[in-house]
Amino acid sequence: MMTNQNIPCPACGTAIQIEINQLLSGTQFSCPSCGSLIGLASEGQPLVQEMIDKLEEIKNNSSKKPDKEK
């Protein structure tokens, strides 16, 4: 699963390092430059989790090597 990501602060644009599992659990992260808080609304958590799962599935399927034809 994707774990650490950087997202831009909506106030100043500085990269904020977030941990995806913590974001999905409701943790808020603060911008190291301006102190703005960023978080994920509880209503959006299932949708974000679904999209992460789909991306992981695509990633896993694309890394599988196709069988050689005989």
Residues 6+ apart with CB under 8 A from 4: 17, 18, 19, 20
Is 50 a member of any domain? yes
| 38 within a domain of the structure (yes/no) | yes
Does residue 51 belong to any structural domain of this protein? yes
Amino acid at residue number 64: K
Mean pLDDT of the chain: 86
Which pLDDT tens digit goes with each residue over 6-32? 999 999 999 999 998 888 888 999 999
Q: Is residue 66 part of a domain?
A: no
pLDDT of 67 = 59
More confident residue, 69 or 62: 62
pLDDT band at residue 66 under the 50/70/90 scheme: low
Please report the DSSP string for 15-40 in residue order: EEEEEHHHHHTT--EE-TTT--EE--
With respect to residue 36, please indicate whether it lies within any of the assigned structural domains. yes
Q: Domain residues for 56?
A: 4-61
Q: What is the value of pTM for the model shown?
A: 0.62
Please report whether residue 69 resides in a domain: no
In a domain, 52, yes or no: yes
The structural domain count of the chain equals 1
